[in-house]
Structure 1
């Protein structure tokens, strides 16, 4: 059964899709896929899930394409939709596993930078995590997001052995993330990459689409890049790792390291991963949605 597509509503015109997802909604309707809107702002608030889905009138399996939600809010949305006969293709525990780095890191450890993390934002836990990496540069983030646009003040740690300097970066990161801070600090060993990232899209463990990264939509991926069998991925194999996670719809961002090895930068839930503008919405829907039912 082809799934229903759920997208955020326009804040000013609540019966219409948010402008950012309007092209995908139109492409889905053109392909014969039912589309309905939910109130993202309500879904993002504690206790707001029922209000968020109050305009949902269609039942059946569904895929969400929209803005990121905290995993707890996504779980509440799942419950409210289930009460209306709508079953999200990605269950709440699967969403958390894909959306938060500790959920996917072990499966991809061989092909992604070494990472350690804390539970919470305390200095003692941060220092213990630093000690696990030992020394050298690292990149800081939390379970779901980095602040790479504040690279030197809130992302890049020149040497994790320098505790006070590392904590200054962590403190600034925590300040910038505010209420959006998720889980704890994550320190990832710094690796040097060349060129722009590539975003790959996976449904049920199979790679369906290879695109530019949304941050650099004009930097198209190499035509011969095959993430399911790339010889330049380190031992373990990306396709086998993604299949092993058993997640229904994810993205994997790749970058070419300076030794010509492709490395995993990030795995994310495909529902909340942005589509680069260089891929037409029609191509995106055709490649992904029919396979996800």
Structure 2
């Protein structure tokens, strides 16, 4: 069964953003059910799954949920006899950087993180990286559209300036701030990212990134990354890659595939078939 968010104004219909995927799922013979995303995101999981019929295995395709809210959703669905392919623990590991970083540490920018948003922990993390430019985010998201204001730190050794950027990141993330600050060493990467889709440790689909949908992916060697993804033992993830100036492909982000956006121009049927 495929679970999609319901349209806010027409709750018996799939949210328009996911309507093509729902159509493709139905045409492929998969039942489709609706989740009330607003209820799920405020923690009312029972209300969120009220329209989901009893069933067996299910995969969610929808808007991002915090790991705690996803866990509540899994519990509420279990009460209806529905078992999610991705467990709450697996979702957190894929969704939050500390869960996946160790497996691919040699294929992604060096990173350290804090627990919480305190200044002392931030300064200690900055000291680990020493000096040089870094990019800030929390466990799940950066504010890259506020690059100089809330993401990029020219020199992490300037702790006062770094904290100013971190404070602005914290302010912009508001109630959605997750876990703590992540400090990632800045690397010069190409602007056009590639999104790779992995099911049970196998790369099933390679697409453009949603931010650069008109830049088709080129040739990518995935053998080394594939071994790391397999070791993560996660049922459905995405890995976003970008080319380094020296020719290597670097991992920018890993995410849970259930809440990873499908780029425009990629047929819904391709993703449903991959799943």
C-alpha deviation, 1:8, in angstroms: 0.2
Relative to structure 1, the CA distance from residue 226 to residue 259 in structure 2 (aligned partners, 3 Å threshold; closer, same or farther) is closer
SS state at 1:144 partner? coil
Residues of 2 paired with 1:154 and 1:34: CA distance?
42
State the partner residue of 1:233: none
Say which of 101, 104, 111 aligns to 1:105.
101
Partner residue of 1:42? 39
Q: Could you tell me how far apart the structure 2 residues matched to 1:138 and 1:278 are? A: 33
Cα deviation per residue 1:201-246 (whole Å; 9 max; x = unaligned)?
Answer: 0001000000000011111101x3242x3xxxxxxx2111000010
Match of 1:253 among 240, 245, 259: 240
Runs of at least 5 residues in structure 2 that lack an aligned partner in the other structure: none
Aligned to 2:133: 137
Instruction: Quote the RMSD (CA, aligned, Å).
Output: 0.7
1:285 CA displacement = 1.0
Corresponding residue of 1:281: 268
CA distance in 2, matches of 1:65, 1:280: 15
Instruction: Give the aligned partner of residue 166 of structure 1.
Output: 162
1:273 to partner: Cα distance: 0.3
Query: Which region of structure 1 is more displaced relative to structure 2, 275-284 or 175-184?
Result: 275-284
Q: 3-state DSSP class of the match of 2:192?
A: strand
Query: 1:160 & 1:283 partners in 2: Cα distance?
Result: 42
- CA-to-aligned-CA distance 1:149-199 (integer Å, 9 cap, x gap): 000000001000001100000000000000000000000000001230000
Cα deviation, 1:103-160, whole Å, max 9, x if unaligned, reads 0000000100000000000000000000000000000000000000000000001000
TM-score by structure 1 length?
A: 0.93
How far is 1:58 from its partner?
A: 3.7
Note if 1:95 corresponds to 2:91.
yes
Q: Would you identify which runs of 4 or more consecutive aligned residues in structure 1 move more than 4 Å?
A: none
CA distance in 2 between counterparts of 1:259 and 1:29 reads 45
Q: Residue 198 of structure 2: SS of its match in structure 1?
A: strand
Q: Distance in 2 between matches of 1:153 and 1:258?
A: 25
- Counting matched residue pairs gives 275
TM norm structure 2: 0.99
- Partner residue, 2:28: 31
The equivalent residue for 1:7 is: 4
**Is 1:80 aligned to residue 76 of structure 2?**
yes
Partner of 2:113: 117
Tell me how far apart the structure 2 counterparts of residues 272 and 194 of structure 1 sit (CA, whole Å): 24
Task: Please name the residue that 1:186 is paired with.
Answer: 182
Q: Shift of the alpha carbon at 1:282?
A: 1.3
Instruction: Indicate conservation of the 8 Å contact 2:220/2:249, yes or no.
Output: no
Measured in 2, the distance between the counterparts of 1:226 and 1:278 equals 23
User: Which of 214, 217, 234 does residue 218 from structure 1 map onto?
Assistant: 214
1:232 aligned residue: none
